[in-house]
Amino acid sequence: MTEKNPEPTFEESLAQVERAIRALEAGDIALEDSIDLYAQAMGALKRCHHVLDRAEGRLEIVRKSVAGDASGIEAVAAELKDGEGVQPARTPRGRATREGGFDGPTPTA
């Protein structure tokens, strides 16, 4: 099942912030439009920070599992609610799934 408005990926959100910065730096936008663009960019930046925070938590789990610190893994994992974390990037024809599969059309040879 495909979502109608999927959450933008980290890369899409970052690109939105970069476009807003370029537009604001150009100075060709009216004040009210600049404020709206700034607000949208801040929302995209907040999404980026959220993804980075979740990625950091997941990396901490990996680091502790490699170090053999089971108690640390459980503590960090408890902070990451089930189903949260870094979302897989969408591919051009669909999206990668958490299980390593693909939910897009089957490629033809």
Please identify which residue in the block is written with the tokens 């170090």: 67
Distance CA 53, CA 57 (A): 6
Q: What is the per-residue pLDDT for 80?
A: 62
Q: What is the per-residue pLDDT for 66?
A: 84
Task: Give the pLDDT confidence of 87-100 residue by residue, as tens digits.
Answer: 444 444 444 444 44
Task: Give the pLDDT confidence of 9-36 residue by residue, as tens digits.
Answer: 999 999 999 999 999 999 999 999 999 9
Q: What is the per-residue pLDDT for 68?
A: 79
- Dmax (CA) for the chain in angstroms is 56
Distance CA 33, CA 27 (A): 11
Q: Is the dihedral of CA 33, 39, 42, 44 positive or negative?
A: negative
